[in-house]
Amino acid sequence: MNLKITLLPGDGIGPEVTEAAVAVLKTAAEKFNANIRLTEALIGGSSYEKYGVPLTDEVLSQCYDSDAVILGAVGGWQWENLPHNLKPEAALLKLRKALGLFINIRPAKVYSPLLDASSLKPEVLKDTDILILRELTGDVYFGEPRGYTDDEGWNTMTYTREEVERIARYAFELAKKRSGKVTSVDKANVLETSQFWRKVVHEIHQDYSEIELNDMYVDNAAMQIVRDPKQFDIILTQNLFGDILSDIAAMITGSLGMLPSASLGKDYALYEPVHGSAPDIAGKNKANPLAAIESVAMMFSYSFQMDKAAEIIEAAIDKTLQQGYRTADIYFPGNILVSTTEMKDIVLENFNRIYDEQALGVFTL
Ligand code: NAD
C-alpha cells in the first residue's frame, strides 16, 4: 500500500511531538508493509516567519494531494499581536475549512495505569472508552446573521439536513465496529435546531436498526460524563455542545498530553493532538508525545483501515505506562520520569516487542 502523508509540525512543542509520532509511524508502516511518502511543510508561526502568512497555498495544495495530514500544534506569544488573519491559529481554521472536515473525533479513553492521574475516582473511570463525534461545519459558529451592537448581541444556530445526515450516518457506521451504541446529545427541549437534529438522526437510524440509539439533553450529558462515563460509547453531537463536552471528557483522561484527535471530511483527513504548542515547555524535550503518537494510531485506523497497526501502537503505549514511564505532565512520585525522546524510544521498543510476539502467536500484554 502506498500512503502519501503531509506532516505539518508547526510551532512550540509541535516539532518535538510529531518527531516522536513520525518515528512510530515509520516503524509501524514498515512492519505492515505500507510504503510511506512523507512530505514536511511549515504551518503557523513558523510559516509566518518564512513566508509572511501562516499557511501558504503551496502547503494547502500539498495537503489536497495527500491521503492524510498530520499536524503538531501552532501558536506562541511572539505572534499574539498579529492581525487575526495572520495569527498561527488562523492557519488551522483555514486548513480545516479548505479540507472540508465535518467530523471531529476525540476519544476519551482511560489507560488503566493512569487512573490516578484524573480528578475522578478510579472506580468511576475504570474501562471508560468514549468517542465524541462533534459536527464541525454548522451551528452557531457559522450561522448568519451574527453580530453585536452596544445594546444587543446575536448568533444563529442552524443546521441543514445534509449536515446532520452525513454525521449521523458516520456515527452509526462506526458504532457497528464498536459496541453498537450511539447517544445523540442535543437541547431539543428548548431549541428548534436541536429538534430538527433529533428528527434527522432518528430518520437515519431507521437504516441501522441493529444500533441502539439514545437521546440525551446536553446539560444531563455533561453531568453523566463525570458521574458515570462508562455508560457512553459513541456520543454524537452538534458543534457547540461537542466543543464543551469534548473538553469535559478530556479531563477524565488526566492530561492534555494524552489526547489525540481526528478530523474527517469526504475526501481528506487531519490528525492532531488536542493540545497546543505549550510555549512554556517548548524546546526542553519535556513534552508528552503520546497524544501525537495516538493520533498516528487513529490515522492507521480511520484513514487506512490498518486496525492491527493502530491496536499495537495503543498496546505499546499501555505497556509503556504500565512499566511506569511518565513525562512530567503525568508524573507521580514512584514513576520513572522520562523526556520526550526517551518516551518515544520506549514506545518504539514496546511496539517492536508486541509486534514480534504477535507474529510468533504469543501475544501477551
Ligand atoms: P497548551 O495546550 O499549549 O498548553 C496548556 C498547558 O498544558 C501548558 O502548561 C502546557 O505545558 C501543557 N501541555 C500541553 N501539551 C502538553 C504535552 N504534550 N506535554 C506536556 N504538557 C503539555 O494551551 P495554551 O497554553 O492555552 O496555548 C499555547 C499556544 O497554543 C497558544 O498560542 C494557543 O493559541 C495555541 N493552541 C494551539 C492549538 C492547536 O494547534 N491545535 C490548540 C490549543 C492552543
In the predicted model, is pLDDT for residue 144 greater than 60? yes
Q: How confident is the model at residue 365 (pLDDT cuts 50, 70, 90)?
A: very low
Q: Grid coordinates in use for 53?
A: 502568512
In the predicted model, is pLDDT for residue 127 greater than 80? yes
Please check whether residues 249 and 166 belong to one and the same domain: yes
111, part of any domain: no
261 lines ligand 1 (CB under 6 A): no
State the distance from the centre of ligand 1 to the C-alpha of 277, rounded, in angstroms: 5
Of 225, 253, 281, the residue that ends a domain is 253
Average pLDDT estimate for 110-121: 84
Do 143 and 157 form a contact (C-beta atoms < 8 A)? yes
95 lines ligand 1 (CB under 6 A): no
226, part of any domain: yes
* CATH number of the CATH domain containing 226: 3.40.718.10
Q: Percent of the chain having pLDDT more than 70? A: 99
Active site residue ranges: 141, 187, 219, 243, 247
What domain count does the chain have? 2
Please check whether residues 276 and 323 belong to one and the same domain: yes
H/E segment holding residue 69 = strand 68-73
**Single-letter code of the amino acid located at 168:** A
Q: Grid coordinates in use for 189?
A: 427541549
Residue 120, pLDDT score:
87
- Bridge partners of 261, per DSSP, are 272
Looking at residue 210, the DSSP 8-state letter turns out to be: T
Please check whether residues 310 and 364 belong to one and the same domain: yes
Mean pLDDT over all residues of the chain? 94
113, part of any domain: no
Average pLDDT estimate for 84-97: 92
Please check whether residues 144 and 241 belong to one and the same domain: yes
Please check whether residues 249 and 272 belong to one and the same domain: no
Q: Measured between alpha carbons, how far is 88 from 76 in angstroms, rounded to an integer? A: 8
In the predicted model, is pLDDT for residue 250 greater than 90? no
Do 10 and 44 form a contact (C-beta atoms < 8 A)? yes
Please check whether residues 133 and 248 belong to one and the same domain: yes
User: Using CB atoms within 10 A of its CB, is residue 250 exposed (0-12), middle (13-18) or buried (19+)?
Assistant: buried
Condensed to tens digits (0 to 9), the pLDDT of residues 38-56 reads 999 999 999 999 999 999 9
Q: Measured between alpha carbons, how far is 13 from 25 in angstroms, rounded to an integer? A: 18
Average pLDDT estimate for 11-20: 98
Residue 131 backbone dihedrals phi, psi, to 5 degrees: -115, 120
Please state whether beta strands 325-326 and 269-273 pair in parallel, antiparallel, or not at all (unpaired).
Answer: unpaired
Please check whether residues 48 and 144 belong to one and the same domain: no
Of 18-22, 111-115, 220-224, 333-337, least confident by mean pLDDT is 111-115
Q: Measured between alpha carbons, how far is 12 from 130 in angstroms, rounded to an integer? A: 29
- Bridge partners of 264, per DSSP, are 103, 269
Please check whether residues 122 and 206 belong to one and the same domain: yes
Residue 204, pLDDT score:
98
**Ligand 1 atom closest to Cα of residue 74:** 40
If you take atom 8 of ligand 1, which residue's CA is the nearest one? 278
Please check whether residues 11 and 68 belong to one and the same domain: yes
Q: Which of 16, 69, 256 to mutate to test the pocket of ligand 1 (most atoms within 8 A of CB)?
A: 256
Average pLDDT estimate for 61-65: 97
In the predicted model, is pLDDT for residue 192 greater than 90? yes
Residue 324 has a CB neighbour count (10 Å cut-off) of 14
Domain that holds residue 159: 118-253
Residue 236 backbone dihedrals phi, psi, to 5 degrees: -110, 125
145: cis peptide before it, omega within 30°?
yes
Of 233, 253, 273, the residue that ends a domain is 253
Do 147 and 153 form a contact (C-beta atoms < 8 A)? yes
109, part of any domain: no
N residues, the chain = 365
State the distance from the centre of ligand 1 to the C-alpha of 127, rounded, in angstroms: 27
Q: How confident is the model at residue 149 (pLDDT cuts 50, 70, 90)?
A: very high
Distance separating the N- and C-terminal Cα atoms of the chain: 28
State the distance from the centre of ligand 1 to the C-alpha of 276, rounded, in angstroms: 3
107, part of any domain: no
In the predicted model, is pLDDT for residue 4 greater than 90? yes
Residue 48, pLDDT score:
98
Average pLDDT estimate for 322-326: 96
Of 198, 228, 253, the residue that ends a domain is 253
What residue spans of the chain are helical by DSSP H? 14-31, 45-51, 57-64, 88-98, 122-125, 161-177, 192-205, 218-227, 239-251, 290-302, 307-322, 340-359
Looking at residue 189, the DSSP 8-state letter turns out to be: T
Do 290 and 258 form a contact (C-beta atoms < 8 A)? yes
Please check whether residues 299 and 362 belong to one and the same domain: yes
153, part of any domain: yes
How many Cα atoms within 13 Å fall on the side-chain side of residue 54?
24
Residue 145 backbone dihedrals phi, psi, to 5 degrees: -80, 160
333, part of any domain: yes
In the predicted model, is pLDDT for residue 275 greater than 60? yes
Angle of CA points 268, 271, 274, to nearest 5°? 140
Please check whether residues 139 and 160 belong to one and the same domain: yes
Please check whether residues 172 and 297 belong to one and the same domain: no
Looking at residue 65, the DSSP 8-state letter turns out to be: T
**Single-letter code of the amino acid located at 180:** G
1, part of any domain: yes
